[in-house]
Chains A and B, each alone.
Chain A
Amino acid sequence: MTSHKVSVFRREHFCAAHRLHNDMWDEETNSRIFGKCNNPNYHGHNYELEVKVTGIPDPQTGFVADLKNLSEIIRQKVTKRYDHKNLNLDIEDFKGINTTVENIAIVIYNLLRPEIKPEYELKVRIHETNKNSAEYPA
């Protein structure tokens, strides 16, 4: 129809446990910097993941991305693997990476980027709570 860029969005969610911890620091520093998020027994969140794909709609289909396909990609690469898991203990992607909302956004972006056609822009926003979220790339 036109050659204007359009963004499409897909939301998915997963429930996971985590804690903020820097293995290079002693327990006291971890506790001082990360406060209650450092609880050794973990805490958790209902994470909401918002994936944004931007590009010119395909002239044949009218789609930037088939949202059913996009949903399936997000499920296979992210939510099926992360849901009802402990991000620190169960997920290889976070080995040596602190599970802050910032780092979760970067890790998920890197998982999804190869799955989206290079000519389309990708942005990932992850909501840890209703009030806290991170977006990558910024």
Chain B
Amino acid sequence: MVYLTRVEHFNAAHKLYNSSWPKEKNEEVFGGCANENWHGHNYELWVTIKGVPNPDTGFSMDAKVLSRIIKQLILEKVDHKNLNIDVDFMRGKMTTAENLAIGIWNELEPNLPGEVSLHCVKIFETPRIFVEYFGDK
């Protein structure tokens, strides 16, 4: 079994705001992240799959194919977008890095070739803050 990681980037706006709470509580819990007019990040997305290298190609998975899947299913929906408003798989969710990792996992996991499995979705929100999600197994 070999782990293969593809790194991609996207830029997006978001805010952390629980609409069932009053504004004061949002500001108390989320601080500057609750700014009603949004803020944004350069997100870095690491997608790691695992698989046995194919004896003919030597690949667990063609990294170009993995990149294409990530671009089609994720980057087209999130890059230069507002995560709270524009992204279907985040609708109704808090757009924390944690939930974003889970959301991206759920989009990618059923759409990978059968011979590999998704191992980890890692998201850097800033160079100093990142989350990792390994699925719920």
Interface 9-mer from A53-61, A84-92, A111-119: A84-92
Chain A interface: which of B18-26, B39-47, B56-64, B106-114?
Answer: B39-47
- Do the beta carbons of B81 and A46 come within 8 Å of each other? no
Among B8-16, B65-73, B96-104, B115-123, the stretch that binds chain A is: B8-16
Count chain A residues whose beta carbon lies closer than 8 angstroms to a beta carbon of B. Answer: 22
A86 to B86, CA, bound (A): 17
Contact with B along A52-81 (1 / 0, CB 8 A): 000000000000000000000000000000
B: interface residue count bin: 20 to 34
Contact of A39 among B14, B32, B39, B80 (CB under 8 A): B80
The complex places the Cα of A83 from the Cα of B9 at a distance, in Å, of 21
Contact A129–B37 (Cβ < 8 Å): no
Closest Cβ neighbor of B35 among chain A residues: A84
* B13 A43 Cβ-Cβ under 8 A: yes
A15-B126, A84-B33, A86-B35 known; A41+B86 contact, CB < 8 A? yes
Query: A36-B79, A84-B33 known; A44 and B38 CB under 8 Å?
Result: yes
Q: Which residues of the other chain, A, contact B38 by a CB distance below 8 angstroms?
A: 17, 42, 44, 86
Residues on A with C-beta less than 8 A from B85 are 41
- List residues of B whose CB falls within 8 A of some A CB: 9, 11-14, 31-33, 35, 37-42, 79-82, 85-86, 126-127
6 shortest interchain CB distances as A-B pairs: A44-B40, A84-B32, A41-B82, A36-B80, A86-B37, A17-B13
